[in-house]
Amino acid sequence: MTLPPIGRALRTALLATLSLRLFNSLMAALIAWLVPVWITPGAPHDPHLLASLEQGPVLLRLFLAPWYRWDTIHYLDIAQQGYADPNNTIWPPLYPLLIRIGMFTGLPPLVSALLVSTLSTLGAVLLLYRLAEEEWGEEHATRTVLALVFFPTAFFLMAGYSEATFLLCALLSIRAARQRRWLLAGLSAAAAVLTRHQGIFLALPLLWEGLQFLRSLQSLPLRQRLRAAWPWLVGLSLPPLAMLSYGLYIRLFTQADWPWKTVSSGWNQHLGWPWEGILGNLRALLSGAPVGGGALFFNLSLALLCLVLLLLGARRLPCSYSLFGWALLLSVLVKVQNEGLLGATARYALIIFPIFFVLAFALKNRLARILYIASALGAQILLLAAFYWWAWVP
């Protein structure tokens, strides 16, 4: 029996999400069992909670402790204490709020965070498949999902990070915009802004799709065109309103600095030229940087991969996809560490979803699929191990 489109999409999304969850959970558990953490982490964390996880029952030590790392700790702090720490204001509230909702059901905070990420991944993969299927067909959609699931940093979709939730909101916004469902597109874009600041760039595809819509109405009387444009204008206004509202809340009610300023003052970053971090990473690698070499390599290589894929997709991607992809990549490249290096480019590449549509064209070749899966999966295991050992800040 042939499944209807939504049935095929849901089956693929379920299989991809469950496989990603199972593989990364088992791999992290295996790493924790074979080579437990041997250092006291210098990153902010709750030492009592970490000790209870690392020294607790085997299920906690193998299946939860590996995920209590880096940004997850800040999201859990926000979910439990709000913005008591001004440095945490760089992380918008939607993902911590969803964690909080899970806590209301009795789930421990870390379990709630992992559940939110898993469910968000399911929704994001479903929408990614549908977008690819509607544009290029079922086989291309399957390869697009494969490209995402095997991506070197795809394990972050399963971690207590906001990437999966952002992807879900962004994909929902763009799909709604292409279907001319302007209020849903605007609300989803606003939700993306309240998940990650890069959600503001969803205003670009909303603007483009709206202009194409208005062009199709040129034969109608002016009054009818204005009436049809009203929902689009409302939807288009929602992402900047969400950004402004969050900034005002942080500035007026928590007395902290504007979130976008805190990134520079509290997190060792500044706005630089798009090539500054690329050249900085290249120089550091060529000079044989002994510390953080893996992070330097993956940040540089995945930044260049995104650049190449977006260039190759210039004639194949719908314009709204390209606009969003280039805006996201530019926002990643200009966020430079004060040492002149790229930031978390390897992880941020996950949310530049148009690259997976382009990558799917290359994966049409069987040999290319085998090489991609083997190399990307090996990188994913390596980076997951480093993530667990507190050795690599993504």
Annotate 370-381 with three-state secondary structure: HHHHHHHHHHHH
Name residue 337's beta-bridge partners. 269
Alpha carbon distance 287, 173 (integer Å): 43
By C-alpha distance, which of 68, 156, 69 is closest to 120? 156
Mean per-residue pLDDT, 246-275 = 83
HSE at residue 70, side-chain half, CA atoms within 13 A, is 20
With bands split at pLDDT 50, 70 and 90, how would you rate the model's confidence at 393?
Answer: low
Average pLDDT value for the chain? 92
Q: What is the CA radius of gyration of the chain?
A: 21
With bands split at pLDDT 50, 70 and 90, how would you rate the model's confidence at 260?
Answer: confident
The encoded tokens of residue 291 equal 């510390």
Whether 85 shows a pLDDT value over 70: the answer reads yes
Determine whether 184 is exposed, middle or buried from the number of CB atoms within 10 Å of its CB (0-12, 13-18, 19+).
Answer: middle
Residues 324-364: tens digit of each pLDDT: 999 999 999 998 988 888 988 999 999 999 999 999 999 99
Q: What is the pLDDT of residue 150?
A: 97
Residues 261-316: tens digit of each pLDDT: 777 666 778 888 999 999 999 998 888 765 556 788 899 999 999 999 999 999 99
Whether 80 shows a pLDDT value over 50: the answer reads yes
Alpha carbon distance 301, 296 (integer Å): 9
Residues 117-148: tens digit of each pLDDT: 999 999 999 999 999 999 999 999 999 999 99
Whether 38 shows a pLDDT value over 90: the answer reads no
Whether 1 shows a pLDDT value over 60: the answer reads no
Q: What is the pLDDT of residue 162?
A: 97
